[in-house]
Amino acid sequence: MKLTEKKRLQILDTAEKMFYEVGVEHTTMDQLAAQARVSKRTVYNHFENKDALFAAIIERMLSSLSSADPVLYHSNQPLEAQLTKIAENEVQLLTSPEFLRVAKIGFMQLLKDSDLAKHLTQIKIGCLGYLADFLTAACDDGRLVIEDCDFASKQFVYQLKSFVFYPLLYGFETVTSAQKEQVIEETVQLVLSRYKPTD
């Protein structure tokens, strides 16, 4: 690895730590340079401003979370079991320290920058990267009837987020294993009852 790339990673690692611990607004480029043990000029050579640095950090963190293998549709397996597996994986992601760390760093900042928020939503994390295709395959197989699989996939994920992610992000509620299991079961049943074909 070239020295310039090592410096860039050093800056990113330090910025991620500082943004998480004290917040983006309370971190200055001078403080960052000192903590990363590089010159301020080196920081600006890699990132033109703090917004660019923040965007690079969030994108790097989200990309690292989006590498999980998708659950592929199988016509010879029970649909409920497959959807349950997807929901279990998603809940594990949504409640992971890594995902909550990204959210804590980015939440307030993204509210202030709609362009950045729009850009980052293009990085599909977890099952949003494949669930629409899964549902489409189930429809093609005659096991579901869905007009808009993108919309249905968001219904699935947002239901899970509402009960297991946001309470942890805001810190007003803990989420027990029993609660996770209930949310997973109810979410799967919601999709099946809404989209299973009628006789």
User: Average pLDDT of 46-65?
Assistant: 84
Q: Give the range among 78-82, 120-124, 182-186 with minimum mean pLDDT.
A: 120-124
User: Residue 107 has what pLDDT?
Assistant: 74
DSSP designation for 129: G
- For residue 107, give the 3-state DSSP assignment: helix
Confidence of residue 62 (pLDDT cuts 50, 70, 90): confident
How far is it, in rounded angstroms, from Cα 19 to Cα 9? 15
The pTM (predicted TM-score) of the whole model is 0.81
- Please give the full DSSP string across 105-122, using - where no structure is assigned: HHHHHHHH-HHHHHHHTT
- For residue 116, give the 3-state DSSP assignment: helix
Most confident of 60-64, 72-76, 100-104, 127-131: 72-76
- Give me the domains of the chain, ranges plus CATH numbers: 3-48 (1.10.10.60), 66-195 (1.10.357.10)
User: Bigger pLDDT: 125 or 168?
Assistant: 168
The yes-or-no verdict on residue 188 having pLDDT over 90 is yes
Per residue in 19-48, is it b (16+ CB within 10 Å) or e — as a string? beeeebeebebeebbebbebeeebbeebbe
Confidence of residue 65 (pLDDT cuts 50, 70, 90): confident
User: Residue 147 has what pLDDT?
Assistant: 96
User: Residue 67 has what pLDDT?
Assistant: 60
How far is it, in rounded angstroms, from Cα 110 to Cα 120? 9
Q: What angle do helix axes 177-195 and 79-94 make, rounded to 10 degrees? A: 140
